[in-house]
Amino acid sequence: MAVDSSISSSSEKHATALQFIEDMTKNADSVQQKVLAEILTQNAETEYLRRYQLGGSTDRDTFKSKIPVITYEDLQPEIQRIANGDRSAILSAHPISEFLTSSGTSAGERKLMPTIQAELDRRQLLYSLLTPVMNLYVPGLDKGKALYFYFVKSETKTPGGLLARPVLTSYYKSDHFKTRPYDPYNVYTSPNEAILCPDSFQSMYTQMLCGLYQREEVLRVGAVFASGLLRAIRFLQLNWRELVHDIATGTLNSKITDPSIRECMVSRLKPNPKLAEFITSECSGEKWEGIINRIWPKTKYLDVIVTGAMAQYIPTLDYYSGGLPLACTMYASSECYFGLNLKPMCKPSEVAYTIMPNMGYFEFLPHDPTSASLLSRDSPPPRLVDLVDVEVGKEYELVITTYAGLYRYRVGDILRVTGFHNSAPQFHFVRRKNVLLSIDSDKTDEAELQSAVENASKLLREFNSSVVEYTSYADTKTIPGHYVIYWELLVKDPGNGPTDEVLNKCCLAMEESLNSVYRQGRVADNSIGPLEIRVVKSGTFEALMDYAISRGASINQYKVPRCVNFTPIMELLDSRVVSVHFSPACPHWTPERRR
């Protein structure tokens, strides 16, 4: 009886969710109009909107003519005041409940996104649409469990006492997640205690242990991003012996000291020598190809984001999973959750996200090389396009207005329209603007790389040497991946050139200069490996230019690419490497912000 009622209540919930998606996407424009009016009405008395003399208007035309299109840097003074404790209605009429720390950085530190309590409900609403959509394509997910590797990250307080933490940490620690009602379609193998443990080793160890114990029940394996799932596989490679010991004996590794994990694991740990033997036989061999299917044989798909920078991990995921389908279910950020993939089992290259019109007010800045100049101070405001007016095949930068108090804020994502679901457009995620290198959630731009090279090359001065040219590459062949920087040096006094030790220190000096998300990945998450400098023979970058010109580049306009990933270029560079250096230590990182 109980089972029947849970099935019927699930199918009712799913039908309601699907109907909601239909309603929102059929009425996308009127929903957008309503959302904008709601945001502007709620926040009419905020300092920000009053400054632009909206005078209580809530229509699009007035809004577009009076409110400027901005970036995070434009909003810094307001954000700083909120962080310092100013509780007046600066951006939002509702109290700012906390800051969400974005993986996008400003001046080397994570951006702080103010949020309000009600946004949690809006995020929850988007999450609640994912399973009903998936259920259309993959039946029977209520007959087993999900092995999802989810983690919380460290949190800090701003000088004014507001919490600052990543959006997923905020979500996992919320009652929405912790006290979620039983849902047969979303039963996780990981206990909340493991997900909520701030120590990444203990959290991962426990989640993996639980996943191994329940291997026969697992129907899907996932993490938020592809890099996270590969980290879990690497963790298994490194720690399977200890995990097997625990399974064989029914005890918990003494490295797991978190009291709430220890308490919740007591009832779950039973000696299971047969399982221990099986894991040993699978993990002790050289061959890790298809390991996911062998250990979790009922897995139907991997639930991980492999769009954008994460696409670099698709071949590795295919290797470990024997080519299981990869489901990219949603598109979201700290600023706002945007939308979902209505065909989650499609190929990664075909993923299109449908932005849900109820999540915020969305505008689109046509993306072309001249669009940057349109935003100079003296020129008229750029012409932004509304959600329903975007054109198939064109690229746009996403600009959002949110309930939490961002108005016409440039997110920095470039999207291409692939089609429509009803009147709501669907977008291919093209790339994040200005990102050169990314391994995990780190996003290193050209300016950051340049200043890191400059800082590191100071160490070369006493050897009368300098960096004449450089380029970079995100090496994701190993797990965790790492940054590779190719350096061509000018050594004026070859008898007294920089030693290996100095070049190793240069690696560390570069890491010290990179942003806090990078350093956190190195220090706390172990999601990024030590930075590598490959010194190439003198003349290499000229050869690189010759190669580019032979392929049609103009001599006048040729610029050294600051990041490379084209195989012939990599081969050219690698064939001229004279020495290889790695960072000898972790860079400095603490949860506290530097400023």
> What is the DSSP code string of 74-124?
HHHHHHHHHHTT--S-SS-SSPP-EEEEEEEEETTEEEEEEE-HHHHHHHH
* Least distance CB 167 / ligand AMP (angstroms): 5
Q: How far apart are CA 31 and CA 360, in angstroms?
A: 10
Contact residues toward ligand AMP (CB under 6 A) are 102-104, 167, 305, 307-308, 328, 331-334, 411, 413, 429, 432, 441
The first and second tokens of residue 276, run together, are 């221990």
Q: What angle do CA 56, 60, 63 make, to 5 degrees?
A: 55
246 or 397: whose CB is closer to ligand AMP?
397
Q: What are the strands, taking DSSP E only, across 181-286?
A: 218-225
Distance of CA 96 to the CA centre of its chain: 24
99 or 213: whose CB is closer to ligand AMP?
99
Please tell me whether the peptide bond between 480 and the residue prior to it is cis, using omega within 30 degrees of 0: yes
Pick from 500, 506, 471, 485: nearest CA to 583 = 506
By CB atoms closer than 10 A (0-12, 13-18, 19+), residue 483 is buried
Distance of CA 549 to the CA centre of its chain: 36
* Least distance CB 190 / ligand AMP (angstroms): 21
Q: How far apart are CA 379 and CA 364, in angstroms?
A: 18
* Least distance CB 305 / ligand AMP (angstroms): 4
* Least distance CB 344 / ligand AMP (angstroms): 11
91 or 327: whose CB is closer to ligand AMP?
327
246 or 303: whose CB is closer to ligand AMP?
303
Contact 497, 548 (CB under 8 A): no
120 or 467: whose CB is closer to ligand AMP?
120
25 or 334: whose CB is closer to ligand AMP?
334
Tell me how far CA of residue 413 lies from CA of 99, 445, 590, in angstroms: 21, 14, 28
* Least distance CB 123 / ligand AMP (angstroms): 11
196 or 304: whose CB is closer to ligand AMP?
304
* Least distance CB 37 / ligand AMP (angstroms): 26
* Least distance CB 411 / ligand AMP (angstroms): 5
112 or 535: whose CB is closer to ligand AMP?
112
